[in-house]
Amino acid sequence: MIYTRPPECFIPYKDAMELNKDFTVLLGVDDDIAWRLQKLKAVRIPATIFWLIVSHLVPIAGIVLSFTYEWWAFIPGVVLCCMLFNANKKANGKNMLDLILRDENCYNIVAMHGGVLYVYSEEHADMFTKYY
């Protein structure tokens, strides 16, 4: 298997979608670049924003409960916050992959930042020489 990404290799959107349908090339999105694009507001995913807000409200609720109910109530809030934040960060890459499969502009933005991953077998390598 050969792994590559822009700017080393760039496959135009229409070609990438046709090759992806034939399973000649598999597309992926780098989680770290997807998170950075989300922070830069280059690509916005509503589910990511929602869970980011929830993950920030949970420890606040834990602190409030620690003053009104039991002193240790903030501990589960902080642990749950970390779990939600990490799960959201991982899911962001998958959500961005779904988005680039539907939207050509999003595909071009993510590819411009080097976030699209192309995976293809060595037997199909000669097909991709025109994209290098």
Q: Per-domain residue ranges for the chain?
A: 2-131
Q: What is the pLDDT of residue 132?
A: 65
pLDDT in tens, 3-44: 787 878 888 899 888 888 888 888 989 888 888 888 888 788
Q: What is the pLDDT of residue 8?
A: 82
Question: CA 77 to CA 21: how far, in whole Å?
Answer: 43
Q: What is the pLDDT of residue 31?
A: 85
Question: CA 104 to CA 66: how far, in whole Å?
Answer: 48
pLDDT in tens, 64-99: 999 998 999 899 999 999 999 999 988 888 899 999
Q: How many CB atoms lie within 10 A of CB 45?
A: 20
Please report which confidence band the pLDDT of residue 119 belongs to, taking 50, 70 and 90 as the band edges: confident
